[in-house]
Structure 1
Amino acid sequence: MIDIALEAEKHGAAAPDSPTRRFLLKHERLIDAQTAQLGRQRWRDFILTGLGVCALAAAGLLVWDASQAGGVVVEPFAAPPELVERGLSGPVLATQMLDKLRGMQAQTDSTRAASTYADNWGDEIEIEIPSTGVSIGEARRYLRAWLGDQTRLSGEVFRLADGRLAVTTRVGATPATRSEGAEDELDALLQKGAEAIYAETQPYRYSVWLVRENRIDDARAVLQRLVAGTDKNEQLWGYYGLGNLAETLAEKEFYYGVALRKNPRFAPARFNLAQAVGGFGQEERGYQELGRFLADAGSARREFEPGWAADMLNEAEASRAALVGDLGRAGELSETGVDLAVASFKSAALVRAALTMAEGHDPAAARRILQANGLSTPQAMARLQAQFGPTVEVESAFARAIGDWEAVRARLADVLAATGDHERGPYQADPTALTRTVLALAYAKLGRIAEARATIAPTDLDCAPCVRARGLVEAYAGDARAADHWLSESVRITPSLPAAHNDWAEAYLVRGDAAGALAQARLAVRKGPNWAEPRKLWGDALILQNKPAEAVRQYHDAVKLAPHWGALHLALGRAQAAAGQAQAARESFRTAARLELNAADRAAVAPLLR
């Protein structure tokens, strides 16, 4: 039929209103309708396909989210009817338990990186209230429980036959722990339950929390269980924690040493071992351990929380710089450490930075940084001493920076007396050795030899600054043989460091031996090229040899390293004057007068400016 109609249309035989023409028009409209229907069908298929893909993607996302689920989920507790009637329903009791867990978590300020825990909670601690019926929320909850790695907590509160209450808590399918007490002790029972949960699921963090609560013996017991366990990583942290709580250096060395034998790259034990031996005056060993710590910075960043890792790496670098006399670099790093320190250690970092600046003979800068941060008043320092002990002070360092040894003596005599009366924590080392070192030196320089010897006598013979102090005490006492004995011993126990040579140079100058002083000053400069002290002693020895022009060169080199050292500018001016450099000498005297000087130097410089 279509063929006939088309043939007629082709030869012009079909009139406009003929049946043939009407047939073709109808067929054309039919084709248009079918084409439109096919287009709509394609769009419907596309939309349905898209919806299907979205549904599959949503389901996949839901499954992926469930597989990543972690943290802690507290299920509603079972509760007796009489407590429910008083508003202490299962969800309310679970919420109270949740609050206690969150509180303990917030109070646990640990340096340990969250990623190093096999079962890390993070900040995900929530209560779960099951709903009735089927919903997306319920499906998500079931998937998270099935596919995720959540720690699920549950418990019951029930009445005992004698009228008291019992609170049981359990972690997953492990056996429950139970506490019993009077009804008015319900809050304490919930706290015990929270501690039991924390101890089981986060034992290392629990030990840190116990230390914060001053429950040292309980903390040790938790850490001992860690080292006796089978998790090798937790063993390392257990030994680390026990080392932190150890009361003697020998104990600290043992625990940190075990951790390092198990894993030589365990940065926390390496850093704390370096701090421990350094704190007891074993400078060479501390220097070497800090070097190993810095050489494996990646391990530090992996084991410590990011902020702590940056702070500790910076502190290690600053400490090593100070040990070789690079006090300019150490001061810069200490200032950086103030910004890196966590809030609770900010004040201690500020004091450390100020002490480093004072050691570099810039007490004015040290005072400025304290003043800018509200630590320049006696009241502020008293608060720090109440927290950290009486050895946290800066006045003796300021006095030492300008050679005011009477002020050093007066301040440190008080500190030593107060230290004996101060109640230290059970895991804090005795801090008196380093105080005795400087105090003995002050007595010796003031000619009070008997008191100097008595002060330094109780110190250990592996404490490098203590041994150096023994040598200088004997030098000022006039016993050259004893001085050489102690200072040669100091060189032996600190072969990489310049301080022993520097102090030996001073001892030679005390006895008037310029050649001996020059030899030791050169060795000190070789080991500590950025330290101003031995360069000044080098210049002093040249003055003793009546070589002022050569002394000027050494003093100039020292000034580049310690530009704010008033006594150094005074010595430079005197050498310049002796070398016939009158104008340069006058400029050096003016510079000295603008800087901090002790009373004797201030009196000496005044007439030189007239």
Structure 2
Amino acid sequence: MAMEAEAKGVAPEGVAHELLSKQSALIGWQIASERAGFALKVLTGAAGLTAAGLLASMAWQASRADGLVVAPFSTPPSLAARGMTGEAVAAQLIDQLALIEPFTRGASEDSRQVSSDWKPAFSVQIPQTGISLDQLQAWLRTQLGHEHRIAGEVALLDDGRLRLTARSEATPLPPVVGRADELSAMVQAVAEAIYERDQPNAYGVFLDSKGRHDDLARFARGRSQSRDVRTRAYGYTGLGVSLFAKDTLGAREAFQRSLDVFPTRMARQNLASIEEQLGRTDAAMRLDRDDLHALKERLYDNLSERRRREQVKIVGGFVAEDVGDYAGALALFRGGFATPRAGFRENIAATQLAALHEITGARRELNRFEPLSAADILRRRGPAARVAEAAGDSSMALAEWDAYVAARTQNAPGFVNHRATARRAEALTRLGRTGEAAALVAATPLDCEPCVQARGAVAAALGRRAEADHWYGEAVRMAPLSPFAAEAWGRARLARGDPDGAADAFRVAVGRGPRWADPVEGEGEALLAKGDARGAAAKFAAAAKLAPRWGRLHLKWGEALAKLGKADEARAKRRAAAAMDLTPAERAELAALSRERTI
């Protein structure tokens, strides 16, 4: 009745009205209840999805866990009462492991994080389980991860000394015994023992970084006797590293044996460096190219993808540098050495800029890093010498090379760097001290390509053309991949008034190093000497694309344009040269031109 009255538009009254009101309220509550139930189901489902997502994320992270987890050590109550608790000993071990870890980042294994295994002060409980998220995460890491768990104990001996024993993966390490006041040193010994057994390559890098080469040699010799080919190869590599600074030929033999057993990145790169030192240019270049190929094809084991990409850039820079592509090398090095490493990036950048004839930029790079140790100063000697050579300061270049050789050979008579000897001889030759240069280079072996090239420079300075051509030609033959001997031969022929022979030599150099500006510019000078100003200007324009801030190039370009009757363009090139880096001789030449014409 009430509903009929409502439908007719008549207001219900009395009991009918009261019934309709109560029924309407009841229906409202029912609708609200259903909506709340639906919302609760949605929230419950969302919570379930969130929990499932969290669990999946925790499981994924746990599967990638590959660190060192240190549990509290067991200690006697008498020691714990004095503050030497199990957590305190474990904390010291974590600190020592953390001190070693930064030195190992260049090793073939990825470095591992170090963490504790005791319960934090606060934890989040999972409802209705009594289990915390930390406990669940630890259980997942144990089941799915690859962590190395370390535990141990400290025992008090009858004589009052302590015995510290650690176990890695339930296998005990050799115990360390000492006095209570020697506990820090004992913990350090345990930390090194852990790395020595669980991450041997990283441990070798650590010993080398700390300058403990005798310890490294002992450790590496043991590994070189292993029946496992990889372990044996890394052993020979470590032995080579231990000898690198004091016995060049011994280190070379060790690295070669490593490659003969199993090709490793460290052995190949170190052997390339030694071949470079010995002046075996062709062998060094081939090793660089093999190394780059192995990196690109992912042929090295235990190398992270991040580290591989970084190495592709760095080794690619060396390959580019080998053929005079200094602009390309600079870009690759800057990308590879993204993180500053004790001046490495600055030193390499300075060397490339010097080769591009940008002396001011090269000096700026050298000054970006202040050498703080004897090792830093020594690493800077070579780049500083290259900058001095490019600036035409042969006296400074000789001083830097002399200081480098003196520091390297001090207390290390087995250290050899024939390439540095050749550069010293070249500096002496430019200074007119040909007798000293001849004596210096005469003691170098004939399989050293830059040394043979230096013999040619000495002969050319003494006016012995046939002898100079013999030595330069031999150097070109010895290193068929390298453009440098051919370019030097071209300069020698140009200096003695043989532009045709110079042009031939420069073209050989361009064929081997098409992105090196110097032989392109050299051919331009040869054409200019032959009276072909138009051809010379074209060569100078091509060279400017490879070394845009080379002052001498613009100076000679202006000379060619002047001979073509293009006075305004010639003047612009001379002005450009005046704003760039020039050697003292080139600046004198520019000054002479300014007296003849208005720049």
Indicate the TM-score class for this superposition, using the shorter chain for normalisation: 0.7 to 0.9
Rounded to whole Å, the distance in 1 between the matches of 2:66 and 2:226 is 23
> 1:586 corresponds to which residue?
571
Is residue 559 of structure 2 the alignment partner of residue 562 of structure 1? no
Are 2:334 and 2:349, in contact at CA under 8 Å, matched by a contact in 1? yes
Equivalent residue for 2:423, pick from 429, 433, 438: 438
> 1:286 corresponds to which residue?
284
Rounded to whole Å, the distance in 1 between the matches of 2:97 and 2:478 is 50
Q: Residue deviations 1:224-256, cap 9 Å, x none?
A: 333333554444433333333333444444443
- SS of the residue corresponding to residue 392 of structure 1 reads helix
Is residue 90 of structure 2 the alignment partner of residue 94 of structure 1? yes
Are 2:97 and 2:114, in contact at CA under 8 Å, matched by a contact in 1? no
> 1:182 corresponds to which residue?
179
Measure how far apart 1:85 and its partner are. 1.6
Are 2:330 and 2:352, in contact at CA under 8 Å, matched by a contact in 1? yes
Written as runs of structure 1 = structure 2, the 5 A alignment for 1:501-540 is 501-540=486-525
Q: Residue deviations 1:195-219, cap 9 Å, x none?
A: 3233222222222222233222222
Is residue 389 of structure 2 the alignment partner of residue 400 of structure 1? yes
Is residue 108 of structure 2 the alignment partner of residue 112 of structure 1? yes
> 2:319 corresponds to which residue?
320
Q: Which amino acid aligns with 1:99?
A: D
Distance change >3 Å, CA 366–CA 609, structure 1 → 2: farther
> 2:206 corresponds to which residue?
209
> 2:464 corresponds to which residue?
479
> 1:83 corresponds to which residue?
79
Q: Residue deviations 1:494-552, cap 9 Å, x none?
A: 11222121112222223333332222122222222222222333233334434444333
Q: Residue deviations 1:258-317, cap 9 Å, x none?
A: 4434445x4443333333322433222222222222223142786434454333222222
Distance change >3 Å, CA 188–CA 559, structure 1 → 2: closer
Q: Which amino acid aligns with 2:501?
A: G
Measure how far apart 1:388 and its partner are. 4.7
Equivalent residue for 1:276, pick from 271, 274, 283: 274
Tell me the matched-pair count.
Answer: 548
> 1:155 corresponds to which residue?
152
Q: Which amino acid aligns with 1:457?
A: A
Q: Residue deviations 1:6-30, cap 9 Å, x none?
A: xxxxxxxxxxxxxxxxxxxxxxxxx
Distance change >3 Å, CA 364–CA 58, structure 1 → 2: closer
Mean Cα deviation higher: 579-588 or 285-294: 579-588
Distance change >3 Å, CA 270–CA 417, structure 1 → 2: closer
Measure how far apart 1:60 and its partner are. 9.1
Distance change >3 Å, CA 550–CA 104, structure 1 → 2: closer
Equivalent residue for 1:173, pick from 166, 170, 173: 170
Are 2:213 and 2:243, in contact at CA under 8 Å, matched by a contact in 1? no
Rounded to whole Å, the distance in 1 between the matches of 2:71 and 2:379 is 49
> 1:9 corresponds to which residue?
none
Rounded to whole Å, the distance in 2 between the matches of 1:212 and 1:425 is 20
Measure how far apart 1:565 and its partner are. 1.9
- SS of the residue corresponding to residue 167 of structure 1 reads strand
Mean Cα deviation higher: 446-455 or 431-440: 431-440
Measure how far apart 1:490 and its partner are. 0.7
Mean Cα deviation higher: 147-156 or 323-332: 147-156
Are 2:278 and 2:417, in contact at CA under 8 Å, matched by a contact in 1? no
Rounded to whole Å, the distance in 2 between the matches of 1:276 and 1:432 is 8
Rounded to whole Å, the distance in 2 between the matches of 1:154 and 1:524 is 63
Distance change >3 Å, CA 141–CA 130, structure 1 → 2: farther
Give ranges in structure 2 of 5+ residues lacking alignment: 1-33, 122-128
Distance change >3 Å, CA 428–CA 102, structure 1 → 2: farther
Equivalent residue for 2:586, pick from 584, 589, 601: 601
For the aligned residue pairs, the C-alpha RMSD in angstroms reads 3.9
Q: Residue deviations 1:40-85, cap 9 Å, x none?
A: xx99xx99x999x99x979997998877765333333232232122
Q: Residue deviations 1:536-573, cap 9 Å, x none?
A: 33233334434444333333333333232222222233
Are 1:111 and 1:305, in contact at CA under 8 Å, matched by a contact in 2? no
Is residue 450 of structure 2 the alignment partner of residue 451 of structure 1? no
Percent of residue pairs bearing the same amino acid type = 32
- SS of the residue corresponding to residue 344 of structure 1 reads coil
Rounded to whole Å, the distance in 1 between the matches of 2:67 and 2:540 is 63
> 1:200 corresponds to which residue?
197
> 2:4 corresponds to which residue?
none
Are 1:66 and 1:140, in contact at CA under 8 Å, matched by a contact in 2? yes
Written as runs of structure 1 = structure 2, the 5 A alignment for 1:362-401 is 362-370=358-366, 374-375=368-369, 380=370, 382-383=371-372, 386-389=375-378, 392=381, 394-401=383-390
Distance change >3 Å, CA 303–CA 411, structure 1 → 2: farther
Mean Cα deviation higher: 191-200 or 351-360: 191-200
Are 1:389 and 1:419, in contact at CA under 8 Å, matched by a contact in 2? yes
Q: Which amino acid aligns with 1:528?
A: G
Rounded to whole Å, the distance in 2 between the matches of 1:540 and 1:507 is 13
Is residue 560 of structure 2 the alignment partner of residue 575 of structure 1? yes
Q: Which amino acid aligns with 2:116?
A: E
Distance change >3 Å, CA 269–CA 85, structure 1 → 2: same
Mean Cα deviation higher: 254-263 or 588-597: 254-263
Are 2:232 and 2:261, in contact at CA under 8 Å, matched by a contact in 1? no
- SS of the residue corresponding to residue 341 of structure 2 reads helix
Rounded to whole Å, the distance in 2 between the matches of 1:218 and 1:93 is 26
Is residue 109 of structure 2 the alignment partner of residue 122 of structure 1? no
The normalised TM-score by structure 2 is 0.79
Equivalent residue for 1:223, pick from 210, 220, 224: 220
Rounded to whole Å, the distance in 2 between the matches of 1:584 and 1:91 is 78
Rounded to whole Å, the distance in 2 between the matches of 1:594 and 1:162 is 79
> 1:463 corresponds to which residue?
448
Distance change >3 Å, CA 74–CA 537, structure 1 → 2: closer
Distance change >3 Å, CA 163–CA 453, structure 1 → 2: same
Equivalent residue for 2:474, pick from 489, 501, 504: 489
Are 1:170 and 1:177, in contact at CA under 8 Å, matched by a contact in 2? no
> 1:353 corresponds to which residue?
349
Measure how far apart 1:107 and its partner are. 4.2
The higher radius of gyration belongs to 1
Are 2:385 and 2:398, in contact at CA under 8 Å, matched by a contact in 1? no
Rounded to whole Å, the distance in 2 between the matches of 1:532 and 1:67 is 53
Rounded to whole Å, the distance in 2 between the matches of 1:289 and 1:412 is 28
Are 1:331 and 1:356, in contact at CA under 8 Å, matched by a contact in 2? yes
- SS of the residue corresponding to residue 99 of structure 1 reads helix
Distance change >3 Å, CA 271–CA 304, structure 1 → 2: farther
Distance change >3 Å, CA 469–CA 449, structure 1 → 2: same
